[in-house]
Structure 1
Amino acid sequence: MAQKVVTVYTDDLTGTESDEVSTHRFSLNGVQYEIDLTPESYDKLDEALRPFIEKGRKTGRVKGTGSTRRAPADGPSAEEVRAWARKNGYEVNDRGRVPREIHTAFEAAH
């Protein structure tokens, strides 16, 4: 017996079936939402939110929606830790996250 699975993509706003439906995420008042929309429905969402987006302040990305840079924490900068690590025989990359073991060694030395 053969089995055929058919996936039907539906616009959550209009109920319209379409191959052009894609998922969009947004957040309001700390609640994250996800909605599947055709390009036409997405344009309506964008048009409705655009005035608020243009006047609002960016605070970073919602967790799980991509990378974001964190505000600097109190303590040494990554550059300071890298310089200390090199002077003390550790191998450390010029970019990216400084390994926890190097941070721990830096903190123990200071």
Structure 2
Amino acid sequence: MYASLFAFFQEAVDRLEGVSSGDWTGPGKSARPRKLDPRPEDEPIRLWAHANGYLVNDRGRIPAAIREAYKASQG
């Protein structure tokens, strides 16, 4: 599933970013509504990541490291 142990840990870190221990409203209830629509700027980043050997899911959050690499490649 993962190309390396580093890729596994990187995804774990990215999933844990933004996890908060405050403002819990109870079972099944989030403190704020989730944004379900993908951002339109995500698709070019995903295409670039796939073409350049990065592991990125077709849906969901794009890791910060991949966003930074994409921005750096754009000049």
- Structure ranking higher in helix proportion: 2
- Structure ranking higher in strand proportion: 1
TM, length-normalised to structure 1: 0.35
Q: Which structure is larger by alpha-carbon Rg, 1 or 2?
A: 1
